[in-house]
Amino acid sequence: MARFPKALPTLILTAAVLTVRAPAAELTNPADEARINALVAQMTVEEKVGQLNQLASDTLTGPGRIVSDGEALIKKGSVGSLFNAVKATETNAFQKEAVEDSRLHIPILFGYDVIHGFTTLFPIPLGLSSSWDPSLVEQTSRFAAEEASAQGVRWTFSPMVDIARDPRWGRITEGAGEDPYLGSAFARAYVRGYQGSRLDDPSSIVACAKHFVGYGAVEGGREYNSTEISERTLRDVYLPPFQAAVDEGAGTLMAAFNAVNGVPSSANYFTLTTVLRDEWNFQGLVGSDWTAIREIVLHGIADDENVAARKAFMAGVDMDMQSTVYLAQLPSLVSSGRVPMARLDEAVRRVLRVKFALGLFEHPYVPVPAGLSPAEKARGLELARHAAEESFILLENRPVKGSPLLPLRPSAGMRVALIGPLADDGVDMLGSWTGIADARSVVTLKTSLSKRAELGEFALTVAGGTDVGGMKDDGFARAAEVARQSDVVILALGESGHSSGEASARAHIELPGNQERLLEKIVATGTPVVLVVFSGRPLSIPWASRHVPAILQAWFPGLQAGPALARVLFGEASPSGRLTVSVPRSVGEIPVYYNHLNTGRPRTDAQVPDTNPTDSYYVTGYIDEKDGPLYPFGYGLGYTSFKYSDVAVDTSWLSAAALNRDNTHLNVSATVQNTGSREGTDVAQLYIRLRGTSVARPIRELKGFKRLHLGPGESRKVEFTLGRDELSFWNIDMKHVAEPGTLFVWVASDCTQGSPARVEIRD
């Protein structure tokens, strides 16, 4: 049971009785500020610096430890945060040392990488984003918060809101894809889920939007690499999801590893102070990434750790993760006057602000034994299965014998072959950043299909064929023979779970090893193939897209991979996922993303009338590859079909001045009809294009979306609103305004579909 520490200072204990806690979106509760100021006034410089020191719990003792006596540091008040302590017994033990044995009794803030679940693992974030359902992500992150907080973990290093346009980058798996509008919607959802309605709710954890900023734009997709981003692109593309997280009340941000335009993110005054503090008025805590402050020396803008500490601190990084550079250097920097005491005090206030908002001073401990009830755990598994079903994207579904191959129609005499290295691998189903999930708890596709076969729904034969990254073909012959003797093959291919994530950039994003040859061998048998692709990034599969009748992108689905896949494959649930990142035809065309600028010689510009190029040869593109992605942003099939019609706007013109001054709105509507014989879900997507403006704008930009579930033949009118927020951009003078020009508006099923309505925006 949570209890007060033995010797809390009177000023804290007395004030606690009178405090009315602020909601999650507010870190500046006046009652807390008074307590914070009183506490800071009592602290020595060393104790202040200690609050800015964050260490991994597993490096405090044992081989390879980075500090000689972690227990002494905690009791001295020199550890403000610990991460990787994930059990209540651990967090309570560390907390006891801080709260009961340190001079000022300041509790520790425990953090962990709760990325797509804690004990219950949901689909990877890229998979969750494919649902186009922020409310679902709010539910999964809320459940993750409940599991983590029960063990004393009150800070997650999530969400990752980096915009990613390069699938070679391993950490594309952790985000919501390539679009800033969609990324902003998911950023808000994660923050709401983690932080709840009140941060001091014991089941809430504080969110950390990362990596600030431009990490998803690393050159060549190489991990930790540099980025070159114009200020306009930075503000239009890469900053909006972070601003959305801040506006939603995210309590913390994490500075990125990469340098932006030659300045390491952890020493970038422009992003960390000018934008984040001065423009956005962020009141929370900014932490570094793992040893990133020490790495400023390697970036080359500091000769030693003393200079690195000063540059990072004065730029706006409040807490040092793992490098201990602040602990070693800040006291002397403050005593010499090179770092003002006022700046140190403000950083400490930001750390304490988060701790007070979480209620850690009143309730530093968690109950032991800790954890959720069996009913709550069952609720989590049901949510995991549902989330996986919504994340799957049907990329192909061609007719076989007159009907689409999927959904499969099982019968007692049906012979199903399950082939491939990922059919029964629980570890890989979790993807990267697996929390404390037990891979033995994963229900694989083989397990789920075997249970159905035991019930007599069909006959199942399993053959591996090859390893995920292997080059041996010893299993090819048996796999082909099993395929020939079957009515349908479910082929489970893709990359391993550790092939994406941090430090997992890939120069080749095709199917690894000899899986492509296995695929060709199985297709050559003539038995219809359903290809299930497991991956943490889009894979380039042009041969499969031409020769395989049914392809399901499954990402890494989490604990309930098997049940979710079986339900979708057999039609008990319909695939409704849509791509949030473009799938390239080949590595050579990367980066490929939908919201790019036009050129003076586009291959085609049929989206806008009367602008097609006149020269058919001198055009943008490749002479040896088709133009555009293999599968475009927003794309996804289902088990039914949808028709879009009657796209309409409620006025033929708008005033730019009125948009900027009064936030005048444009109403857009369209009719969506389910033209198939099954119920199903589609995502109506609103796109715009602006022409005639002071700077070129993308050929399309997502500005709204709605999930629609329609019965057979059912129609529904969808409505959207476009106002200043949707129609403004950073113009030639670097002002965020709406400008006169021509506006084209689409409502369609993906970024390539539909006919536009036209609106004039006048002076």
> What is the distance between the alpha carbons of residues 188 and 404, in angstroms, rounded to a whole number?
38
Q: Which residues contact 578 (CB under 8 A, 6 or more apart)?
A: 130, 132, 393, 634, 635, 636, 683, 685, 750
Q: Which of 23-27, 155-159, 388-392, 420-424 has the least mean pLDDT?
A: 23-27
Between 369 and 403, the higher pLDDT residue: 403
Between 60 and 245, the higher pLDDT residue: 245
Strand pairing partners for 667?
721
CA distances in angstroms from 241 to 24, 209, 233, 578, 596, listed in the order given: 18, 9, 13, 20, 18
Q: What is the pLDDT of residues 224-252, one digit of tens each?
A: 999 999 999 999 999 999 999 999 999 99
Contact, 454 vs 507, CB < 8 A?
Answer: no
Domain coordinates in residue numbering, the chain: 1-112+340-383, 114-252, 391-569, 642-762
Q: What is the mean pLDDT of residues 193-221?
A: 98
Contact, 242 vs 161, CB < 8 A?
Answer: yes
Contact, 634 vs 749, CB < 8 A?
Answer: yes
Q: What is the mean pLDDT of residues 137-144?
A: 98
| 663 pLDDT tier (thresholds 50, 70, 90) | confident
Q: Which H/E stretch holds residue 109?
A: strand 109-112
Q: What is the mean pLDDT of residues 472-485?
A: 97
CATH assignment of 391-569, among 3.40.50.1700, 3.30.1330.10, 3.40.50.300, 3.30.70.260: 3.40.50.1700
> What is the distance between the alpha carbons of residues 380 and 294, in angstroms, rounded to a whole number?
40
Contact, 147 vs 193, CB < 8 A?
Answer: no
Q: What is the pLDDT of residues 370-380, one digit of tens each?
A: 788 999 999 99
Contact, 164 vs 178, CB < 8 A?
Answer: yes
CB atoms inside a 10 Å sphere around CB 616: 7
> What is the distance between the alpha carbons of residues 548 and 551, in angstroms, rounded to a whole number?
7
**The CATH number of domain 642-762 is 2.60.40.10:** yes
Per-residue pLDDT at 26:
66
CA distances in angstroms from 413 to 304, 446, 451, listed in the order given: 72, 19, 16
> What is the distance between the alpha carbons of residues 336 and 552, in angstroms, rounded to a whole number?
62
Mean pLDDT of the chain: 94
Q: What is the pLDDT of residues 610-634, one digit of tens each?
A: 566 667 778 888 999 998 999 999 9
| 604 pLDDT tier (thresholds 50, 70, 90) | confident
* Cα distance from N-terminal residue to C-terminal residue, the chain: 64
Phi then psi for 382, rounded to 5 degrees?
-65, -40
Q: Decide if 725 is catalytic.
A: no
Q: Which of 68-77, 251-260, 578-587 has the least mean pLDDT?
A: 68-77
What's CA 364's distance to the chain center, in Å?
30
CA dihedral 570, 573, 579, 583 (to 10 degrees): -10
Per-residue pLDDT at 607:
61
Joined tokens for residue 534: 């497991």
Candidate list 113, 133, 200, 289, residue with the active-site label: 289
CB atoms inside a 10 Å sphere around CB 139: 17
Joined tokens for residue 243: 């601003």
> What is the distance between the alpha carbons of residues 700 and 45, in angstroms, rounded to a whole number?
53
pLDDT higher than 80, residue 567: yes
CB atoms inside a 10 Å sphere around CB 621: 15
> What is the distance between the alpha carbons of residues 569 and 311, in angstroms, rounded to a whole number?
55
Per-residue pLDDT at 19:
33
Q: Hey, what CATH topology would domain 114-252 get?
A: TIM Barrel (3.20.20)
pLDDT higher than 80, residue 597: yes
> What is the distance between the alpha carbons of residues 292 and 270, in angstroms, rounded to a whole number?
18
